[in-house]
Structure 1
Amino acid sequence: MRIGLVGAGPWARATHAPSLAAHPGVEFAGVWARRPDAAADMGAAVFENYDELLANVDAVAFAVPPEVQSGMAVAAARAGKHVLLDKPIAGTLDDATELAEAIGHAGVGSIVALTRRFAPETRAFLGEAAAKQWSAGAGTWLSGAVLGGEYSNSAWRHREGALFDVGPHVFDLLDITLGEIVDVVLCRRDDASDTWTVVLEHNSGTLSTSQLSLATPVRPSVFRVELSGIDGVASLADRSTSATECFRVLLDEFVESVAAGTEHPCSVNRGLHLQKVLEGARAAR
């Protein structure tokens, strides 16, 4: 599968590009970025414009801000290209809905880079959780990503904060283990520390609580998902599998799902569901 990459920022350079270049089932066919000079050493041809990249690939991987991704991914789907989407899939629920509809109408494959879903430790946790009954859950992701380092100049992360950046990862895991999220009961943000407290209601009647931040001075980041109930406690705090290894598994499954013509569990529709949760959190704030 010939895959082109849109974006040349730190996530594209650290994860997308090396993963695409190393995968045996993928031809890393090219890169398009707003600044061509930034893409010059990423291991693939640099295209001068997006339309030219679309004409030379079977699929497009996106590593750009959500408000940029949605429109470009709609264009890719309408051109018959499969799409590998970052999370969240759009800047607004309306744009996310338009994107999901475009992908559905075009009949192309899609996958959302919910990176931790593709780690073996996460899959072991989900396997354990599926066999038990839970009455409560909690998710935590605290980091100092916007305080310094390669992501500190990310305008959308400063604007939307941890809710949009790490929130989809945490909500995704709580949704799988406790049941579909049906309501946002409470959402509060402390602006100075970008600390979000989010209470979610699941279709099982269970409530979960999440604490999220990109501006907490902690190193390494604190990540944890914990479930409790009559069957005891299950916890996930392991993020030892690298992002590139997770992305390798993602590419394996993406290529397989496209070849089989089947929808991946992390398709655009999963992304749309999580976007609805984000929109509910915005409204509840």
Structure 2
Amino acid sequence: MGPVDQLRVGLVGGGPWARTVHGPALAAHPAAEITAVWTRRPEVADELAADLGARAHTRFVDLLEDVDVVAFAVPPQVQGELAVRAAAAGRHLICEKPLAGSVEDARAVVAAVQQAGVHSSMVLTLRHAPAVRDWLAALPSVPAGPGTVATARWLSGALLGGPYSTSAWRIENGALLDVGPHVIDMLEAAVGPVASVGWAHHDQPDLWRFGLVHEGGAQSTVTMSMRLPIDPTETEFAVFGRGVSHRLAGRVADARTCYASLLDELVAAVTGSGPAPELGVERGLRLQELVEQVRAAAV
């Protein structure tokens, strides 16, 4: 598509994340306009569209006719199917993690995006946070080797109560599928691509612990849960070795600010003023493959 003043965006989904992050961030961005909303429940679409000044559609195919970009805030098994259809229609994508309900379905999304030649962005909010970018930039530029270890901790009570505690896919899969992509993405950015999953343990309550071996020889360990009585969420990423002791702890990302940065990149790519987003659906597939490797290794 050629240069435009504003990208027409269709929002798919009407849950808490759509209402508190996608919708407000899209509405506030100067180069985006929410023109359409679709959800599986028409009354929810009507309410959200009224709040956002958009048009509610009763069919997904009609939303596709009304937009340049589709932003998804739906369960992964729904996103995987609809993202393929949106890409085939020539629409650019903003996708949540995990990308789809299975690795096979995630590969289908990537294939559809590549075949259509459209752009895509994964909502990996942490990677768009200024504090995270500064933290990563401060790490040594040389590849991490065997003398480097990294750790990640993400502990919360998000599934014990609150807006996401009734989400069926989160209840079924817990921290591994919801938080896991963020954590693994950060560790790969910090100490290099994962070569293998060294070990993994899954215990109650939703407690995941696993170790990763990275291509340069660095090793990392992860501890995470979404069913511990902890509020607010405890997070920390750290890298030790290479002459550094480098920590990033606490809340470092405001979701709407991060989403605005994501939109800046996508708008630049679509309008031809910047490169393709680095964190597109190919990245989403990579992370989903690694998450499934952890699941397969768990004892």
Over 3 Å counting, the alpha-carbon distance change for 1:51 and 1:130 in structure 2 is farther
Unaligned runs of 5+ in 1: none
Q: For residue 92 of structure 1, what is the amino acid of its counterpart?
A: S
Q: CA shift at 1:39, angstroms?
A: 2.7
1:152 corresponds to = 165
Is residue 185 of structure 1 aligned with residue 198 of structure 2?
A: yes
Task: Work out the CA distance in 1 between the residues paired with 2:244 and 2:117.
Answer: 43
2:69 corresponds to = 59
2:116 corresponds to = 106
Q: Any conservation in 1 of the 2:45–2:57 contact (CA below 8 Å)? A: no
Is residue 77 of structure 1 aligned with residue 83 of structure 2?
A: no
2:182 corresponds to = 169
Query: Helix, strand or coil for the counterpart of 1:41?
Result: helix
Is residue 9 of structure 1 aligned with residue 9 of structure 2?
A: no
Is residue 252 of structure 1 aligned with residue 258 of structure 2?
A: no
Task: Work out the CA distance in 2 between the residues paired with 1:37 and 1:251.
Answer: 28
Over 3 Å counting, the alpha-carbon distance change for 1:130 and 1:66 in structure 2 is farther
Unaligned runs of 5+ in 2: 1-6
Q: For residue 286 of structure 2, what is the amino acid of its counterpart?
A: H
- Deviating beyond 4 angstroms after TM superposition, the runs of 4 or more aligned structure 1 residues are none
Task: Work out the CA distance in 1 between the residues paired with 2:293 and 2:78.
Answer: 21
Is residue 37 of structure 1 aligned with residue 50 of structure 2?
A: no
Q: CA shift at 1:167, angstroms?
A: 0.8
1:138 corresponds to = 151
CA RMSD of aligned residues (A): 1.3
Between the two proteins, the alignment pairs up a number of residues equal to 284
1:243 corresponds to = 255
2:217 corresponds to = 205
Task: Work out the CA distance in 2 between the residues paired with 1:38 and 1:237.
Answer: 37
Q: For residue 207 of structure 1, what is the amino acid of its counterpart?
A: Q
Q: CA shift at 1:242, angstroms?
A: 1.5
> Which of 123, 129, 151 is residue 119 of structure 1 equivalent to?
129
2:291 corresponds to = 278
TM-score by length of 2: 0.92
Task: Work out the CA distance in 2 between the residues paired with 1:240 and 1:136.
Answer: 22
- Please list the CA deviations of residues 176-229 of structure 1 after superposition, one character each: whole Å capped at 9, or x if unmatched: 111101211112111x31010011111011111111111011010011110000
Task: Work out the CA distance in 2 between the residues paired with 1:73 and 1:96.
Answer: 10
Task: Work out the CA distance in 2 between the residues paired with 1:106 and 1:277.
Answer: 26
Q: Any conservation in 1 of the 2:143–2:216 contact (CA below 8 Å)? A: no
Query: Helix, strand or coil for the counterpart of 1:67?
Result: helix
- Please list the CA deviations of residues 107-156 of structure 1 after superposition, one character each: whole Å capped at 9, or x if unmatched: 00001000011110000001012436640001111111110010010010
Task: Work out the CA distance in 1 between the residues paired with 2:253 and 2:193.
Answer: 26
Task: Work out the CA distance in 2 between the residues paired with 1:71 and 1:132.
Answer: 40
- Please list the CA deviations of residues 57-76 of structure 1 after superposition, one character each: whole Å capped at 9, or x if unmatched: 00100001111101100000
Task: Work out the CA distance in 1 between the residues paired with 2:12 and 2:69.
Answer: 11
Q: For residue 87 of structure 2, what is the amino acid of its counterpart?
A: A
Q: Any conservation in 2 of the 1:133–1:231 contact (CA below 8 Å)? A: no
* Larger deviation, residues 86-95 vs 131-140: 131-140
Q: For residue 11 of structure 1, what is the amino acid of its counterpart?
A: W
* Larger deviation, residues 209-218 vs 38-47: 38-47
> Which of 262, 266, 276 is residue 275 of structure 2 equivalent to?
262
Q: Among the aligned pairs, what percent are the same residue?
A: 44
Over 3 Å counting, the alpha-carbon distance change for 1:130 and 1:75 in structure 2 is farther
Query: Helix, strand or coil for the counterpart of 1:75?
Result: helix
Query: Helix, strand or coil for the counterpart of 1:40?
Result: helix
Over 3 Å counting, the alpha-carbon distance change for 1:233 and 1:133 in structure 2 is farther
1:88 corresponds to = 98
